[in-house]
Amino acid sequence: MTKTNSYVDDTKMQLIDLNALNRFPIRLSNYDSENGNENFVLGIECVLEYANNLHVIDAEIQRQGQWVPWAGNLMKCTYCGHEYVDYVECKNFCGNCGAKMSVEVDKE
């Protein structure tokens, strides 16, 4: 019987942010050495060393948004909420957050 974590779909590759993982606050150089368990922290170091030796794929975060009519002449990016008077100049991408706009919403 295989034990599964409900957060992990092991049928698909799931990407994580290695830089964020490396900022995990409990490290050998930063833990309560008087009250903490060194073996526990060594386990953390072991997992981080393992993660840092995995194959690295450079990835960009894909932001997806839509233009929606907003007050008066304004159009609003659904991803960041930035408002534009003339959104046509940046129709395919939000100039504020860089979100890709896949579906155009008519102003009327």
- Give the residues lining the site for Zn ion (CB under 5 A): 77, 79-80, 82, 94, 96-97, 99
Closest CA to 56 of 19, 11, 12: 19
Cβ closer to Zn ion: 31 or 82? 82
DSSP state string for the chain? -----TT--TTS-----HHHHHT-S-BTTBS-TTTS-HHHHHHHHHHHHHHHTSPP----PPPEEEEEE-STT-EEETTT--EES-GGGGSSB-TTT--EEEE-----
Q: How far is the CB of 95 from Zn ion (least distance, A)?
A: 8
- 75 or 94: CB nearest Zn ion: 94
Task: Report in angstroms how near the CB of residue 80 gets to Zn ion at its nearest.
Answer: 3
Q: Closer to Zn ion at the Cβ: 31 or 79?
A: 79
Q: Which is nearer to Zn ion, 75 or 99 (CB)?
A: 99
Task: Tell the smallest beta-carbon distance from residue 52 to Zn ion (Å).
Answer: 33
**Shortest distance in whole angstroms from residue 108 CB to Zn ion:** 22
